[in-house]
Amino acid sequence: MSVLVDIQHVSKQYKEAPKPAVSDLSMTIEKGDVFGLLGPNGAGKTTLISMLCGLFPPSSGTIFINGHTHQTHSKASKQAIGVVPQEIALYLKLTAWENLNFLGHMYGLKGASLKENIKQHLSVLGLEANMHQKISSYSGGMKRRVNLIAGLLHNPQLLILDEPTVGVDVQSKQAIIDHLKKMNRENGMTILYTSHHLDEAEDFCNYIGIIDHGTLITQGKTKELIAQNNCSSIEEVYLKITGNNFRDK
Amino acid sequence: MKLLYSLYKEYKVLIRDKAGLAITFIMPTVLILIMTLIQDSTFKSVNESSVPLLLIDRDHDSLSQTLERYITNSKFFLVTKKQLTNEAAKKEIAQGHFFIGIIIPENTSKKLRERSTARVTKLLNSFGGDSASVEKTIDTSKIQLNLFFDPITKKSFKTTISNSIERIISQIEMQGMVSALNEKMRESFPDAKPSPMENTPLVSITEEYASYNNSTIIPNAVQHNVPAWTLFAMFFICIPLAGNIIKEREDGSAFRLLTMPGSYFIVMLGKLITYTIVSLIQFALMLCVGLFILPLLGLPQLNIGNSLPLLFLIALSAGLAATGFGLLVGTVATTHDQASLFGAVFIIILAAIGGVWVPTFVMPDIMKTISVISPLNWGLESFYAVFIRNSGLKEIWPEIVKLWLFFFVTLGGSYLFQKYKRLK
């Protein structure tokens, strides 16, 4: 498989912070992988994802997405990415259809293919009957599902998911994970997934990276990582590597 | 296409925000109605109102009657006649019931007639070389009229009133002299049948406000309040606009848009255009209030001058300045509360400085100087120029340029701040 994301010696130092949020981090994500990026609060996950999305540049190092950097080929690298933020990044006063139609156009999609695409995703995730209702009237699970569709509309090469199932019921969680697996299997979509649901990460991701204090501590195929550390689950591996101390005290 | 959908999204979000719509359109309408009704009498007192005047007539003769007629006809005074002592009259004025009091002593008319006749006789006799006989018999002391003023009266206003009354008395004096001369001439030429002497003024003064295109519109409460509160409302949209930007940032929409190629700029442009259009709609609505609603409440109709394109240019410039300011507040403020508080306080200060609450023409000199830093003042002065003086672009372009500069500075400021924040 070829490399889709190549992160080379990336560091990020915020002006007022005593230590870098990300420090000399290197890693790759291959096309078709479901990569679980795990780490405690303040480990540097959000900073790394923000740089991957092109929100701000690294202080040093380079990030290549499909061979392009945000600094030199912003349009191409951004077009390759789909983002599903942890927050419900939708307009509550608009309907699901209006939200997705707007965001689809912002990705440069249009016409019948966009409409068909929206309908298909809504149908698969059980939202077709409610698509003309305002988002404000939706349950938490329904909002999460629309939030996910918004990142999938342009069929990105890399889908970045930040806690996509937080605060939803089991049924919605299952629907979301199943849909993501289908997109990965059928479209070859590469997924970068962050979550604190470690059992979900173990089930969903074929590759895991654990980040702490701004550096990548370990990475590997999920099953191999468990075996290498003589553990029975990713949660055990995670606690073994990052310790039991609180990080957000 | 992206821009079109961004505009459509902003339109949908706005139209479904009932509270935002109320702030945007109902608040300025209500403000215009209330403030115009409240300030109408104040503006009238500045412009054309009747000054309450106490007349104490102890003469009951031609002079007091003529004086009363002149004063009443001037429409400058609201005359109340009472019979009071000097002390009681002073007390009434000191208590603020009257702005001015005039006491006409007993026999004033009689004395005026006697002295006028004596002066004429003296003049005529002097032709025959005999003036000493008259000199001996007449009282040459001046006739005293007493004027009392409310202590709060400004010196300039007091002088104006005194001069007006002196002019009226001079006319009466002149008529007395002419009557005495007529009498004397009739004695000398009993068979003559002279035509009555005309006593209309030979010199008349026409007064007119200096304005372009011969317009003579006096500023009134409507002419002040409609543009003033329209501008206030236009700048007040910085709060919903800033709130809209902060909400997008808080709910992750801004994050998502920033990850899309070129979309964040388009969305910001969409907001800029949408809110500028909203400010233009506000302006049109407020003009309609001034033209059609205020007259129904007994207030004067708004005179909008004769250049609608120029009014559109001013409204567009002010709308862009307001939207630019909203973008800046939305970018700099970190929370909704911060934006609401800072935006509201700042706009209220700019409005106070700029002459929205109290017009600049009644401000002290120092505040007049300070007022020119407020963009609301630039807009207001431009509207005054078109509404009241029928000015053209040649006269108002400096204010228009200032509004556009304000727009570009706030826009540049929000861009730089956004860039700085992202790089931090």
**Cα–Cα distance measured from residue B97 to residue B79, given in angstroms and rounded to the nearest whole number:** 12
Which residue of B lies nearest to A77 if distances are taken between CA atoms? B261
**Nearest-CA distance B338 → chain A (Å):** 21
Q: Do B38 and B55 lie in a common domain?
A: no
Predicted local distance difference test score (pLDDT) of residue A42 = 84
Predicted local distance difference test score (pLDDT) of residue B307 = 84
For domain A3-242, give the fold.
Rossmann fold (3.40.50)
**Cα–Cα distance measured from residue B220 to residue B146, given in angstroms and rounded to the nearest whole number:** 34
Please give the residue that has the higher pLDDT: either B91 or A243: B91
Which residues, including other chains, have CB under 8 Å from residue A149's CB and lie 6 or more apart? A100, A118, A121, A122, A125, A127
Q: Do B268 and B375 lie in a common domain?
A: yes
Among the three residues B212, B235, B269, which one is the final residue of a domain in this structure?
B212
**Cα–Cα distance measured from residue A73 to residue A60, given in angstroms and rounded to the nearest whole number:** 18
Given an 8 Å threshold on Cβ–Cβ distance, is B252 in contact with A88?
yes
**Nearest-CA distance B248 → chain A (Å):** 8
Please report which confidence band the pLDDT of residue A100 belongs to, taking 50, 70 and 90 as the band edges.
Answer: very high
Residues in chain B: 424
Q: Do B229 and B171 lie in a common domain?
A: no
Lowest mean pLDDT among A70-79, A239-248, B195-204: B195-204
Which residue of A lies nearest to B6 if distances are taken between CA atoms? A102
Within 8 A of B256 by CB-CB distance, chain A residues are: 83, 85, 89, 103, 150-151
Predicted local distance difference test score (pLDDT) of residue B217 = 45
Among the three residues B165, B197, B212, which one is the final residue of a domain in this structure?
B212
**Cα–Cα distance measured from residue B193 to residue A8, given in angstroms and rounded to the nearest whole number:** 121
Identify the CATH number of the domain in which residue B67 sits.
Answer: 3.40.1710
- Per the structure, how many domains does chain B have? 2
Domain residue spans of chain A: 3-242
Q: Do B230 and B128 lie in a common domain?
A: no
Q: Do B97 and B133 lie in a common domain?
A: yes
Whole domain around residue B132: which residue ranges? 50-212
Token digits for B191? 């068979």
Predicted local distance difference test score (pLDDT) of residue B419 = 79
C-alpha closest to that of B299 among B222, B229, B228:
B222
Within 8 A of A85 by CB-CB distance, chain B residues are: 252, 255-256
Among the three residues B212, B240, B256, which one is the final residue of a domain in this structure?
B212
**Nearest-CA distance A123 → chain B (Å):** 23
Q: Do B208 and B223 lie in a common domain?
A: no
Tell me which amino acid residue B12 is: K
DSSP track, B196-249: PPP-S-S---------GGG--PPP-HHHHHHHHHHHHHHHHTHHHHHHHHHHHH
Q: Do B162 and B257 lie in a common domain?
A: no
Which residue of B lies nearest to A17 if distances are taken between CA atoms? B424
Q: Do B155 and B234 lie in a common domain?
A: no
Tell me which amino acid residue A244 is: N
**Cα–Cα distance measured from residue B192 to residue B185, given in angstroms and rounded to the nearest whole number:** 9
Q: Do B260 and B335 lie in a common domain?
A: yes
> How would you write A36-74 as a 3-class SS string?
EEECCCCCCHHHHHHHHCCCCCCCEEEEEECCECCCCCH
- Decide if pLDDT at A192 tops 90: yes
Give pLDDT < 70 ranges for chain B: 41-50, 75, 128-140, 152-154, 156, 197, 199, 201, 204-219, 422-424
**Cα–Cα distance measured from residue B399 to residue B227, given in angstroms and rounded to the nearest whole number:** 15
**Nearest-CA distance B386 → chain A (Å):** 40
Predicted local distance difference test score (pLDDT) of residue B46 = 53
Q: Do B307 and B257 lie in a common domain?
A: yes
Given an 8 Å threshold on Cβ–Cβ distance, is B256 in contact with A103?
yes
Please report which confidence band the pLDDT of residue A6 belongs to, taking 50, 70 and 90 as the band edges.
Answer: very high
Q: What's the average model confidence in pLDDT over A104-124?
A: 91
